[in-house]
Amino acid sequence: MVFYINISRPADYLSHAIADIVVLLAVYFLLPNQFIFQLISTNIFTVSNIIIIINYRSSHALLGNNVILVSYLFINILGAIAARQEPINKRAQFELYISERKLKEEYQKALDELVTLRGIIPICSNCKQIRDDQGYWNQLEGYIQKHSLAKFSHGIWPKCSKKLYPGIEVYDPDR
């Protein structure tokens, strides 16, 4: 059908060349067909236009025919390269989307782990051990280090120092 439409065009074809180039670009860039269908339809369109240029001797110079033929060739090569690259770009976008989703899930998991320190933490009133989600009892320092970025450095409170070590003098800022 495309061939018939092109054969039925007038002999002075130079005025239609730009419109045909736009049609070729539209087939490659705007129509959501598979690459092979784009390639077949644009090649049929191009071959029929070349037949018109060869069979009908129009009034424009031979240089005009050569320019039109080269532009059809150039547009087909450019369009084929771009149309072939599009699925590759979509695949790369999809992979970026998947990695972004994975990072969001990891971020949410890390955020959920930090939220556990904000809730109610069961602690022994005598020995200060903390019960975790699995029901095991842990030392206060170990539990907090496991569930946060906090680190501990042990020291001794001056009042406890007097009680535990009565003969040793310890610096007391409250005195």
pLDDT tens per residue across span 21-52: 778 888 887 777 788 888 888 888 888 777 77
- Rounded Cα distance between 117 and 144, Å, is 8
**pLDDT per residue over 68-102, tens digit each?**
777 778 888 888 888 888 778 888 999 999 999 99
Q: Please, what is the Cα angle at 23 between 17 and 26, to 5 degrees?
A: 145
Give me the number of domains the chain comprises.
2
Can you give the residue range of the structural domain that contains 169?
Answer: 121-175
Of 95, 112, 129, the residue at which a domain comes to its end is 112
Whole-prediction pTM: 0.42
Are 7 and 81 in a shared domain?
A: yes
Are 73 and 145 in a shared domain?
A: no
Are 106 and 133 in a shared domain?
A: no
pLDDT score at 6: 53
| Cα–Cα nearest to 141, from 150, 133, 115 | 150
Are 70 and 154 in a shared domain?
A: no
Are 95 and 29 in a shared domain?
A: yes
CB 96 within 8 A of CB 42: no
Are 100 and 36 in a shared domain?
A: yes
Of 86, 112, 138, the residue at which a domain comes to its end is 112
Q: At what angle do helices 14-29 and 62-115 cross, to 10 degrees?
A: 20
Using CA atoms, how far residue 87 sits from 35, 91, 161, in Å, is: 9, 6, 72
pLDDT at 167 over 50: yes
